[in-house]
A and B are shown apart, each in its own frame.
Chain A
Amino acid sequence: MQKKISKLPFKGTPEQAAALQKVIDANKHDPSRLMGVMQEAQGIYGYLPVEVQDMIAEGMNVPLEKVYGVATFYAQFALSPKGEYDISVCLGTACYVKGAGDVFDKLKELLGIDADECTADGKYSLSACRCIGACGLAPVLTVNSDVYGNLTADDVPGILEKYGK
């Protein structure tokens, strides 16, 4: 699947920019450190929007397209911000056959966003993940580090309620 690019406005702070600049300055002598810099940037911002990739490209003196190529090749790089509550539904085999697809669809419906997107208020983000090793509880989802198991689509509103929805 092609990665989706977030349309939410960039809300980077000068502190974040300074932190990223520090990382770039420590690595810019060696273009092969691009991926490490991108990882740290994602640590700072939570995702890699065009503004951040542009800073990396300029700072590391590599083409922006190269940064973007790397960002879209590796699953761990995100082009969309993570919400205050990051919801991740396991779509591994066990969860999937036990109905994780329906759970996922219900979340999309209630949050009004698609996979790998974040709500406009920055509160919730949604993604699918592969097996998290809790097949006995299938289907499973996580909200930040909270784990919920043995779910049906009907459980979804109750879970969201706990996080202010």
Chain B
Amino acid sequence: MEMVNVKVNGIAVSVPKGSTILEAARQAGVEIPTLCYLKDINEIGACRICVVEATGARGLVTACVYPVAEGMEIQTNTARVQKARKTTLELILSTHEKKCLSCERSTNCELQKMCKDYGVEDSGKYDGDRPVYELDKSTAHLVRDNNKCILCRRCVAVCRQQYVSVIGANDRGIDTHIACAFDKPLGDVPCVSCGQCVAVCPTGALVDTDSTTPVWEALADPTKHVVVSTAPSIRATLGEAFGMPIGTNVEGKMVAALRRLGFAKVFDTDFAADLTIVEEANEFVQRVQNKGVLPMITSCSPGWVKFAEYYYPDQLDHLSSCKSPQQMCGAVIKTYYAQKMGIDPKDIVNVSVMPCTAKKFECGRDDQNAAGVADIDHVITTRELARMIDRAGIKFDLLPDEEFDAPLGDDTGAAVIFGATGGVMEAALRTANDWLTEKDNKDVEFHEVRGTDGLKEATYNIAGMEVKVAVASGIANANYIMDQIKSGTAPWHFVEIMCCPGGCVNGGGQPIQPASVRNFTDLKALRAKALYDQDEAMTLRKSHESPVIKKLYEEFFDDGIGGHKAHHCLHTTYVARKKFK
């Protein structure tokens, strides 16, 4: 690789040709502040916060996109640079609604941190026209407050990368604002609710729709039996919200925290992931044996399901009819568990902790009420759980490790890896392999479908049958798969699709990491590793071996996997959606 020698603040470094000043500075241990830049997502050099002095350049240059040249000397912190950054911040602040006190992003706001670093207050120097925007609360999953938007376009870029592109910059000059076509509310356009825009927003312009308030209310209501369950990936990310290293598995502390918040039972959505696998693997075997519609596609990711409903409404019979683990979990709690405990399902409040904003939409879908009441009542994101823990004064790092509650607390390694792209596929393969070969296979790892690549393909020989699989994460890759299915050229039998790049560990509801971390860290890989490590350390690694699952079919779904009872409770249907209202 051709290297280029440069000096950053006098420190000599050698970096690959084509590197940006930002990357070279990082190597020299120098952090250059950025606002609009997000590696591989938004590389537009627009906000001009990252300006630096560089020899050979006429004026100040934007470090995020300016390539280094041999012998270049870069100064990142001169009086001139600081003055320019301060002015830029003052201009941004002049139209920013500075309601920071209880802003959800306070202390985790990239603009706030920068203003603190540069001593910038709202001086009033640039007071003038300031458009006022109404909040967009039209979706189940997020609130857009353009009064706090700094027009960095990170949300626009990530939405485009997701192949959804329902938001963009409208109008011009002082009136420029991020919104949908014809300024329709977000709820009236084909947004898939993935929440990636929320996860990349540097300020409080995009936040989750608050579900903590109804959860606090339920917890305070003595007539309610409030039950919580946590998705596979929460244990791999929640620690980040409390300053722990990315990829720390905090399962035990998470359970302890939830118990201290006052939930009557702390269940593991993982049991429902195991349940999904046995139902889904069964459906797959049925489709193969009965010449049903193939490839079959997983239906765990509500963002992906919504995308299919909007963009491929004529291909919905490829989706597995299985409800997602969240909804299966809710359905089992309000039927099996309610019956077992002698509680009226109407008195149960099911709270689900999810890495996902689309789950807030999913729980309100039709046909998700096995007991006649909503399977899941409230969905809180990992971020919202962290906020609840903070408000309750629970010292997360000092908590002991505790175990999930019976009877829905035990899981298998197969369920744990659901949180990473390829995990559902691997879990399904473990079970399908055992069933089709009719033996207990010891080799349970399917490495070809692991890793953070957006698109993975593999062919396995299972019981003499060649099974071609594909794993896609990120909607752009889903689109690639669907185009092939639609044109009839898809070679696969079974496809896993996750809406968010990297799967749930990188879900739109996960703790927000600032650009300064995202730009130099592989969040997806570090978080996924926590899950694969846990899987490897487990004795039970196949969903169908789960004692919870065995008991469920013995005691409740007694007409078996894929039987009538299971179908009523655990399966669903999809609807073709109109793109624009």
Contacts and interface: CB of A to CB of B under 8 A. Distances in A.
Interface of A: 1-3, 5, 50, 53-54, 63-69, 72-73
A2 B166 contact: no
B172 A72 contact: yes
Contact of A63 (B166, B175, B183): B166
Nearest to B173: A1
Interface string B167-197: 1111110010000111100000100000000
A72 B172 CA distance: 7
7 contacts: A50-B181, A53-B182, A65-B181, A66-B168, A72-B172, A73-B171, A73-B172
Tell me whether chain A's interface is mostly helix, strand or loop, or mixed. Answer: helix
Interface in B562-581: 580
A5 B168 contact: no
A-B pairs, top 10 by smallest CB distance, nearest first, are A63-B165, A68-B181, A64-B181, A65-B168, A69-B168, A65-B181, A72-B171, A72-B170, A73-B172, A2-B171
A153 to B, nearest CB: 28
Nearest to A62: B165
Contacts of B168: 63, 65-66, 68-69
B167 A65 contact: yes
A64 B170 contact: no
Contacts of B189: 64-65
Contacts of A66: 165, 168
Contacts of B182: 5, 50, 53, 68
B354 to A, nearest CB: 27
A65 B180 contact: yes
Contacts of B580: 50, 54, 64
Interface string B154-170: 00000010000111111
B36 to A, nearest CB: 17
Nearest to A66: B168
A14 to B, nearest CB: 22
Interface in B122-148: 131
A64 B183 CA distance: 11
Contacts of A72: 170-172
Contacts of B131: 2
Q: Give the most central of B168, B183, B580: most A CB within 10 Å.
A: B168
Given A65-B166, A72-B171, 4 more contacts: A2-B175, A63-B165, A65-B181, A66-B168
Interface in B263-313: none
Nearest to A67: B181
